[in-house]
Structure 1
Amino acid sequence: MTSVAIGPTDQLDPRLLEHRRELTGYCYRMLGSAFDAEDAVQETLVRAWRGLSDFEGRSALRSWLYRIATNVCLDQLSGRQRRALPMDLSGSPWQPVEHSLAARRPGTAWVEPVLDRQVLPEDSDPAERAVARESIRLAFVAALQHLPPRQRAVLLLRDVLRWKADEVAQLLDTTTASVNSALQRARATLSGLGGAPEPRPLDADDRDLLDRYLDAFERYDIDAFVRLLHEDATQHMPPFEMWLRGASDIGAWMLGPGAGCRGSRVRAVDANGSPAVAQWRPREGGGFEPWALHILEVADGRVAHISSFLNLDNELFRVLGLTVDPEAR
């Protein structure tokens, strides 16, 4: 992550930087984009730095920062189309053929990934961390984008951050009754989209599955890879609109249009509260290029869904803080 663009870091009050990670998590959930969250937190800290001399402790510093961050996010969301995932846009899966790559949308159309280390608190209670992990899962972040921005803020502040209704009302300059009404509507919308996530630990079996996934991918043993997937597993690959359904079609894709991934280097990371795989693909002429981040949804001991975010503009790995060199740590 980059530093605040207002001069040397030592000009900032250290108290502002203490809240950077949790503000990034909040802005990410609001905006559905690590890129936009980075910008929003930068702007929040800039505004706070400029207004710190007038703040004078009229409220808790953390509450004040969340007020600024909320306003920054609401400004960013004004007039924007909601971000989505490819499976939200098309009811039918695509064929595992090259022509399926013809339909593509700009990065601003898609919900984007984030690494756990960028947004999850390091020293929180294990139960709180489990809730925080679930609240950054891709399906939940995508569902949040269906909510009007102020409802989104209310739900996050109340149900994820556990603020009291009167505290949220003060932050949003509204009434407690309005906050409770907005929360009720937001919960109803999410319920219709599958409901709020339930905290679920990543157990030893999941870790073993991830190790076998990494091994099969790096050896490019597609038979072994397919055996790790549910029969009706799905995969999508933003910025392309296409998505695939069925382990056999995913395998066919990897042996067909995706065959350039043979010989890749892969490494396990934690992203969006889920097991994930960073991939560096062989570069023509030698070496490797940062290629994709694959986020896995695991159910009943197999991979149920793969979200493959391609690094086509070389910005994804930068904003996620992933290395260009697969051997670097």
Structure 2
Amino acid sequence: MELKEFKITVLPLRAKLLNYARKLTDEPEDAEDAVQEALLKLWSKRLDLEQYRSIEAFAMTLTHNICIDLWRGKHTGNLPLDTVQAMAPAGTPERLLEIKDEIRLMHEIIDSLPTLQRTIMRMKDIEEYETEEIAEITGCGAEAIRSNLSRARKKVRDIYLQTIQERKRRNKP
């Protein structure tokens, strides 16, 4: 699909996507960001759009998934203490705070990843998408998905271990 056809087929969907995104997000700015990201993904997949029966349905699904990702990104970093207690029911209050701190650290590390690696890691490890689904949504090949996921996991592991070691060194008398 060339630019002219994209403008005729996809861009008119913007208003409908924006209305839908506003219903799914808390903030108008988030809705705007979600639609912009969806349009960028549609543009990057423009050569493959003809394989879909309904480009509009694909665009709506893409927008929906992006809005859900935005919502999860805002809400997963603020785990209530009862959620942490459910993860370690027999833990002492100190241990529960340690677990919550480790979860917060992991979210910070994941948020520091490059956008594509962060997106792929969240989709695969948190939302449990299959590689083929991630490839379809992101427009990357399956091998690129696996490579980016491997790099992201290694970087998260390395930063996490380095941070834990630094904390231990600081806490030594």
Band of TM-score, shorter chain: 0.3 to 0.5
Higher helix content, 1 or 2: 2
TM-score by length of 2: 0.46
TM-score by length of 1: 0.27
Higher strand content, 1 or 2: 1
Task: Select the structure of larger CA radius of gyration.
Answer: 1
